[in-house]
Amino acid sequence: MNPVNFHQMVTTLIWAGGWVCFFAGIIKLVRAYRKKADPAFSSVRNKAVKFLFSGVFLLALLAFQIGYGGVITESKSSLPAENSMAPGFMLPNQEGKTVSLEDLRGKWVVLYFYPKDFTSGCSVEAHNFQKDLPKYVAKNATIVGVSVDEPGSHKSFCAKEGLNFTLLSDTERRVIALYGSEMNLGAATLAARNTFLIDPKGIIRKTYPDVSPSHHSEEVLADLERLAAESGQDKVYGADRYSADQQKECERLTGSKCIFDLCQRAMGDTSPDNCKPGWKPVY
């Protein structure tokens, strides 16, 4: 049997077995207390409690597997290839506002898919991205997480975990399918733990299938630094990266404190020539 299909079968059995034991334990417990005067009450009650706790244990085990290690499953479609255009999307964020990939053009985008808000592995992964967020900002990169959770769940997750980056809600699983990142858990379809590093032109420069939450951010940062340097997109003209004299020169050339936005819109109505030689425009 294919290892992936075998893992799916085991996962489904754990899921089904957990709920069967849980409800069987509740039913047995109710029946036992209805016959509390019966001499066999203690024995029946103990058996019911064992069923109940077996169900809780199996469901907790499954929740840990989803949250930390992810569930290995066969995607309905393959991952988009590296060096191909990233599939476009429009999804609501944790505030209910629509965010599109086009809105993020001009920045590096770390687009990561994850199974479920509030689970252990997803929290670890999000914490690490949050911890490294200043490093991403310095490299002109933005973090975007995607799961099947509702925007309200994302908002609560961000508040609880102190997250200051974008989480998108794909309740219809369309974007997850576009990125080949579906996984099945019984009757439910969740997002697999895959990440895509997209450059400022909208091209997928690196894919990360089935990632480990613990050290993933470090891995992405290292690749981001290397790929940005190779492509010449490692310098962004901004107040946090240049001296006061350079800022004065910027003001003289453009009439504003910083021409970061002008450089960022170089593909639109603003010429890249507005960026002084040596300062890279963001295409």
Parallel, antiparallel, or unpaired for β 166-169 and 141-147? Answer: parallel
240 C-beta neighbours (distance < 10 Å), count: 10
Q: Where are the alpha helices (DSSP H) in the chain?
A: 3-34, 41-64, 120-131, 133-138, 151-161, 174-178, 216-231, 244-254, 260-264
193 C-beta neighbours (distance < 10 Å), count: 27
For residue 79, count CB atoms less than 10 angstroms from its CB and return exposed for 0-12, middle for 13-18, buried for 19 or more: middle
- Residue 158: active-site member: no
Q: Which amino acid, 127?
A: H
Angstrom distance (rounded) from CA 109 to CA 146: 12
Count H helices and E strands in the chain, helices first: 9, 9
Which contacts (CB < 8 Å, 24+ apart) does range 218-224 have?
Answer: 218/128, 218/132, 220/110, 220/195, 221/132, 221/135, 221/136, 221/139, 223/197, 224/108, 224/110, 224/136, 224/139, 224/141, 224/197
Q: Which of 122, 158, 258, 263 is catalytic?
A: 122
Residues belonging to the active site = 122
